[in-house]
Amino acid sequence: MHPISPLTLFQIFAFILGAVVGSFLNVVIYRLPLGLSVNEPKRSFCPHCKARIPWYENIPLFSWLLLRGKCARCGAPIAFRYFAVELITALLFLWIWNLCDAAGAWGLFFPLWVLVGLLIAATFIDFDHFIIPDEITLGGTAAGLILSAVFPSMMGETSHLRSLFWSMVGAGVGYLLLWGVVEAGKLVFGKKKRRFSPPAEFRWTRQGDDAELVMGEEKMLWSDIFSRETDQLFMETESPCLDDQPLEGVADSEPTTLRFFYNRLILPGTERREIVLDTVATLSGKVRSLVIPREAMGFGDVKLIACIGAFLGWKAVLFTVAAGSTIGAVVGVALLLAGRRDASGRIPFGPYLALGALLWIVTGPALIDWYLGLITVPR
């Protein structure tokens, strides 16, 4: 029997550690967007029956397979995603270890493991909720700055102070770059217009701190429409009613344009008449047309690329944005050709940024050198 080499032992350790971290990431992915603590309760629970899962049924990878993807208590299915997150994390931890070992970069595997964990959590939360929590993006940016100061090889430096400086530059370049894209996109694509022919019944109903807007068979949450305090929604209506009473000073025979901010309604007329929406239970009538505010990209993506820049530097930021945009365009075109136009609009940009960052880790500098070699004119 041949003894196991130290390298193989380290590889096994990296894989197992990745699976364990993946199990914790599943907790983060499920609880964080719901505002639940990742520490309490300490033990995982079934999302269906809420029964606590004992440790012997919570072994990464094996438990899902042995239980055939079902809760041992209620028999409800446990999504394959839980197994997938553990497996992906385990494989990426092993992959990072092999890369660092091959390059002799022993000071990089731990920071890159931290980044991989952040990218996986951000990706799956973004898929499920179209948000990336600040705990991941801003917390990750802080972690990247601290780790860059501790491990200067992250920025290709030997000085801890210079490494921290370049990490700050990477975070700043990433944030400003995508912030500029968001603002430019707001100017160009900041409004979505819809017309209803014939006019459709609409009803706005307050629900605590939020509200629901129903137009015909379509429903949307008020909070999903507005991203900024300055966002406005314009609605051309017929016979609008406030709390089931005709709106005062509005003629039934004429179209009336209502101007909404998130928390107030501006009524038409020469005198500015404003209604605080917290005092309103319902608004109803018929809608002829609608202008909805929208963003070209979420601010979670802006903060995510700052996090990536803090870990990988400004060159990686430029590569990640370019690679993520290219991958997103290819996927979007493929879905359009497959006749799945709606699906192409439901994929957030965060996962593409995560893929771009991983591509940089694996082969980014080599790809840049190859590209520069193609465009360099020989003398």
What is the rounded distance in angstroms from the CA atom of residue 294 to the CA atom of residue 128? Answer: 19
What is the pLDDT, as a whole number, of residue 40?
76
Q: In angstroms, rounded to a whole number, what is the distance separating the alpha carbons of residues 38 and 25?
A: 10
* pLDDT tens for each residue of the chain, 379 residues long: 567 788 889 999 999 999 999 999 999 999 998 888 888 777 777 777 777 877 777 889 988 888 888 877 787 788 899 999 999 999 999 999 999 998 888 889 999 999 999 999 999 999 988 889 999 999 999 999 999 999 999 999 999 999 999 999 999 999 999 999 888 888 877 788 989 988 999 999 999 889 999 988 888 899 888 888 889 999 999 888 888 888 776 665 678 889 999 999 988 765 667 889 999 999 999 999 999 988 877 789 999 999 999 999 999 999 999 999 999 889 888 888 887 766 555 678 899 999 999 999 988 777 777 766 666 655 5
> If you write DSSP's letter for every residue of 47-115 in order, what string do you get?
TTT-PBPPGGG--TTHHHHHTTTB-TTT-PBPPHHHHHHHHHHHHHHHHHHHHHHHHT-TTTHHHHHHH
Q: What is the pLDDT of residue 255?
A: 85
pLDDT of amino acid 230: 87
User: How many DSSP H helices and E strands does the chain contain?
Assistant: 11, 9
pLDDT of residue 364: 76
Secondary structure of residue 43 in the 3-state scheme: coil
Q: What is the pLDDT of residue 174?
A: 96
With 0-12 / 13-18 / 19 or more C-beta atoms within 10 angstroms meaning exposed / middle / buried, residue 357 is buried
Neighbours of 274 (CB within 10 A): 10
Q: What is the model's pLDDT at position 318? A: 93
Are 237 and 265 within 8 A, CB to CB?
no
Instruction: Measure the CA–CA gap between 347 and 324, rounded to whole angstroms.
Output: 12
DSSP β-bridge partners for residue 204: 213, 283
Q: Which neighbouring-strand residues pair with 273?
A: 267
Which residues lie closer than 8 Å to 12 by C-beta, 6 or more apart? none
Is the whole-model pTM more than 0.75?
yes
- Look at residue 343 in the predicted model and tell me its pLDDT: 57
Phi-psi region of 251 (alpha: psi -120 to 50; beta: other; left: phi over 0): beta
Question: What pLDDT does 83 receive?
Answer: 94
H or E, element range at 268: none
**pLDDT score, position 378:** 58
For residues 261 and 274, give the distance between their C-alpha atoms in angstroms, rounded to a whole number: 10
Q: How many Å apart are CA 143 and CA 107, to the nearest integer? A: 15
Write the Ramachandran bin of 24: left for phi over 0, alpha for psi from -120 to 50, otherwise beta: alpha
